[in-house]
Structure 1
Amino acid sequence: MKRLFDIVFSLFGLIVLSPLFLIISIMIVKDSEGGVFFRGPRVGLHGKTFKIFKFRSMIKDCEGKGKWNVGDKDDRITKVGHFLRNTKLDELPQLINVLKGDMSFVGPRPELQYYVDMYTEEEKRILDLKPGITDWASIVNFDQFVAFTESDDPDELYLNKIRPLKLKLQLYYRDHNGFWSDIYCILWTIYKVIRRTPNLPKDIKNVIGEYESEFAIQ
């Protein structure tokens, strides 16, 4: 049922959003040299690498040439790229990945090999699932881009502050996922995008509370 849902709604989304895709594509091409899409390697189901689709928001071929985690002040971001990142419109082409079967609508966000190589045996269970456009970690860290902008070292912030909770939330999803819980996550994602609210579901608050308790003990 999940795969059928992914195929139907990713195809529907690509058709409905095609005028917006065209407008954004023209904006990107007029703004800077390089292609419309960024296609960077990410780790997917069972550790298999695939190329993720995003609207290009940075200068050509710059991933890994500087900080992995990027804030709004990074000079590699194009003028249009600032707008795309702040509105999260750069993520829309991942509907192509969903249609192809590389990703799902809901699942752990696909990670760089650099960070996957750090996984413990417990964390490797995350790779049992197909990565997704959204998950509970994405909702909790909805303003991650802002945090990177305010940080002196975005990579250190991600590694020591954001990533540990992200992994805990992804493991929680690994053990509590289902079709209707995915729909619930999608609805919360839409709610977050529209309202920009700090509110979270009770069960996710509980996961965060457990993590903070563990962190305090450490």
Structure 2
Amino acid sequence: MRKLLKNSIVCHGIGVFGTLLLLHVVTGFRANLPITVINSFWLVSCAYVATSVTIPKITNYLLVDRKYYILPVLASIYAAAMAFILLFRVEYSREILIYAFSIHLFWMYFSAVYRKENAKLNLSAINNFDVDNLDSRHARIHLSLLREPLSMSEIKDGLVVDLHNKLTPEQEKFVADCSINNIPVFHSESIREMIEGKVKTSHLSENAIGSLVPNPVYHNVKRAWESALIILSFPITLPIMAITALLIKLENPGPAMFIQERVGQGGKTFRIYKFRSMTVKKAGAEDKFATEEQARVTKVGKFIRKVRIDELPQFFNVLKGEMSLIGPRPEQESFVKQFEKEIPFYGYRHMVKPGITGWAQTVQGYADDTDSTREKLAHDLYYIKHLSFWLDMNIVLKTIKTMMTGFGAK
């Protein structure tokens, strides 16, 4: 049974069929179903299919446990279904949607555990790279060296090899034979990136710098969907911004807004908007990391930083085209000049628009010195290299978790 359920089509086919069968039981197997029930059947079927397609794409960038993404993705898709219902005035059954959501949630969690989607990926490696330097202790991967003579029968889930390093004629033929026989062949650096979620900046030339050029088509699509999402959120976010501005003014004298020059795409500077979370800075004071300014943080400021409300005014930076919702965080010009001298390839993070939230921010947290900024750059370049809608959605879900836990707040 487990082997049968490992086939995604079979597993999700059972999920859709089982959901519709149980909903028929709930409705009493009536011959003539009302239009509200029929519409709801179509909606929940589409929601299930959309969820089963979306989760693997969102979790494709790291060897993560997919079951942790089931609830947020399923809830988001059902929310989109409700928006569709309200927008087009579709007749529906609230009871059917509630039952279906519960059944979908149960089946997806059960199938994820039963199919052991959190089992390790068993990879075999050719000894032409430093295998010990690759963190094979990751919870989702097991890496073992192939012994001579090389045999395809020993390979389970794929072969790992440094495609940029020398191979013997026998090894070259073996790699080619694996490809011909549909055995996945992974470049060792790709596996390392997938495990760590970052690009190795010390050997950036090996990562094909051309791959860091963002897709121009998605760049325009990204601008469109981010702007639409911001505008649709205004009925909620604008009142929050108004209340926040009032609380800031009541607690501490000075402007509610904090405006500062930051470096954006192409190294061009722009004025970033934030809610002021500290006491007013003295004129002529030098730029410091936020960790060095904790004494100036106000009570309101501490709260709005933790839940990221202080970043909401940057929605207007996004609408102006200066920023994106998702991208590398913009840095002050003085720090950029410093890091460009100290960190190789630092300027490559300016190939895309800076973001309100980003991959580095949700994976690593806050950077407050040169070493942590070097690590942050590795995550930023990973984001640029793999920039896509699905990676952006992964970051959106991580950001929600970050807002709830306060991870990386300073």
Residue 388 of structure 2 corresponds to residue 168 of structure 1: no
Residue 28 of structure 1: CA displacement? Answer: 0.7
The amino acid of 1:190's aligned partner reads I
In 2: Cα distance, 1:48 partner to 1:169 partner? 22
CA distance in 1, matches of 2:306, 2:406: 12
Task: State whether residues 56 and 90 of structure 1, in contact with CA within 8 Å, keep that contact through their aligned partners in structure 2.
Answer: yes
The alpha carbon displacement at 1:136 in A equals 1.3
Tell me the amino acid that sits aligned with residue 101 of structure 1: G
- The match for 2:231 is 11
- Distance (whole Å) between structure 2 residues aligned to residue 196 and residue 33 of structure 1: 26
Partner of 1:158: 368
With over 3 angstroms needed to count, the CA separation of the structure-2 counterparts of 1:47 and 1:174, relative to structure 1, is same
Given the alignment, which residue of 353, 370, 393 partners 1:130? 353
Instruction: Find the counterpart in structure 2 of residue 140 from structure 1.
Output: 363
TM-score, scaled relative to structure 1: 0.76
Secondary structure in structure 2 of the residue aligned to 1:30: helix
Q: List aligned pairs for 1:51-130, cutoff 5 A.
A: 51-62=271-282, 65=285, 68-71=288-291, 74-117=294-337, 118-119=339-340, 120=343, 122-130=345-353
Q: Aligned partners of 1:19, 1:132: CA distance in 2, in Å?
A: 23
Among the aligned pairs, what percent are the same residue? 36
Q: Give distance in 2, aligned partners of 1:113 and 1:138.
A: 19
- C-alpha spacing 1:192/1:81, structure 2 compared with 1 (3 Å): closer
Asked whether the equivalents of residues 14 and 95 of structure 1 are also in contact (C-alpha less than 8 Å), the reply is: no
Give the counterpart letter for 2:386 in structure 1.
H
TM-score (norm 2): 0.42
Give deviations 1:75-105, integer Å, cap 9, x for gaps: 3222322222233221121111111111101
CA RMSD of aligned residues (A): 2.4
Q: Does the residue aligned with 1:158 lie in a helix, a strand or coil?
A: coil
| Structure 1 residues 137 and 64, CA gap change in structure 2 (3 angstroms) | farther
| Kept in 2: contact 1:134–1:189 (CA 8 A) | yes
SS, match of residue 130 in structure 1: coil
Q: Distance in 1 between matches of 2:227 and 2:316?
A: 10
How many residues in Structure 1 have an aligned counterpart in Structure 2? 185
Is 1:20 the equivalent of 2:240? yes
CA distance in 2, matches of 1:74, 1:94: 22
Paired residue secondary structure (1:17): helix
> Structure 2 CA distance, aligned partners of 1:63 and 1:11?
36
Quick one: distance in 2 between partners of 1:136 and 1:124?
A: 17
**Structure 1 position 39 matched with structure 2 position 262:** no
* Distance apart, 1:115 and its partner CA: 2.1
Q: Which deviates further from its counterpart, 116-125 or 173-182?
A: 116-125
Q: Which has the larger radius of gyration?
A: 2
CA distance in 1, matches of 2:259, 2:350: 20
Return 5+ residue gaps in structure 2 as ranges: 1-220
Could you tell me whether the CA contact under 8 Å between 2:259 and 2:273 is conserved in 1? yes
What is the rounded CA distance, in whole Å, between the counterparts of 1:48 and 1:72 in structure 2? 26
Give how far 1:14 is off.
Answer: 3.0
